[in-house]
Amino acid sequence: MSANASFAGSVSTADTVSASNATAFKQTGESLATSSEAHVIASDVVKRFPGSIKNSDVVAIDGVSFQLSRRTFTSIVGPSGCGKTTLLRIIAGLESLTTGELRVAHADVSRPINTMVFQEQSIFPWMTVRQNIEYGLQVLGHGRTARKQESDFWLSKVGLIGFENSYPATLSGGMKQRTSLARSLATKPELLLMDEPFAAVDEQTRLTLQNALLKIWDETRTTVIFITHSIEEALTLSDEILIMGARPGRIIDRISIPFERPRDAIELRTNPLFGELMMRIWNKLSHAL
């Protein structure tokens, strides 16, 4: 990280999400980094939601702490309702935390601090594929020529050449998610947040999208935090996996993935170590239910 890097907790201008500033972010000019490559630092993050009965808050996340390095791909797995998406939304600045602190380094203020690919297909139905990909660039003030050059690049990268003038209603689920991924990456975010982006597609499409993402990540090395229920998907894509237990969500294990890159989503599953790691993670999850 450059000496000029700041730590931030929102999509654009924030520097810290803390218990004392849970709904509004503020500039601190202070660094919590214990490593020059630290990108995301969570310290005892707690999130409570109001319960249906007075004074009966629901604890969604309880004391989550971790540090993620730049240019790494981290997956978070855990049972439904354990707070994975809530944690991702806090990192994105879309949700406040209750207590604790979360910091996200922002090394290059000319780039977005993060973008997010949602589980739901979130592209605009009234825009073409190209217009969707260019949307973030337009918001950032890029000119027409620059937007077209960038969208041409990403249309090629995600395999949508020939569909640039198509509308979402005419696309398959996989093609819609490719569009969403291209839109998110076109703005060159420092951090890419992905919330079960391939959950709604069939297995063949899912494997194809995993291979596409592996190839793109090898070329961009964007820091990624990826939410998934699939242990196989996490093992295929990640440098490390954070395992969360049942609600209230806590990090119960952290596993480094030893597979070299580049990877192939199909070939990797033939590696005996893949099966061993899958069982290790499954055992952790099953005992945490």
Rounded Cα distance, 237 and 193, in Å:
14
Q: Residue 188 domain-assigned?
A: no
Give residue 30's pLDDT.
34
Give residue 36's pLDDT.
52
Q: Residue 26 domain-assigned?
A: yes
Can you list the positions of beta strands (E) in 126-283? 191-195, 223-227, 240-244, 251-256
Domain containing residue 236: CATH number: 3.40.50
> Each residue's pLDDT tens digit in the chain (289 positions)?
443 444 443 332 233 444 433 332 322 223 333 345 899 999 999 999 987 777 778 999 999 999 999 999 999 999 999 999 999 999 999 999 999 999 999 999 889 999 999 877 789 999 999 999 999 999 999 999 999 999 999 999 999 999 999 999 999 999 999 999 999 999 999 999 999 999 988 999 999 999 999 999 999 999 999 999 999 999 999 999 999 999 899 999 999 999 999 999 999 999 999 999 999 999 999 987 7
Give residue 8's pLDDT.
45
Domain assignment of residue 61, given as a range? 6-109+225-288
Q: Residue 77 domain-assigned?
A: yes
Q: Residue 196 domain-assigned?
A: no
Q: Residue 267 domain-assigned?
A: yes
Q: Give the total number of structural domains in the chain.
A: 1
Tokens 């980094």 sit at which residue?
33
Q: What is the pTM of this model?
A: 0.87
Q: Residue 83 domain-assigned?
A: yes
DSSP string computed for 4-18: T-EEE-SSSS--EEE
Q: Residue 28 domain-assigned?
A: yes
Q: Residue 203 domain-assigned?
A: no
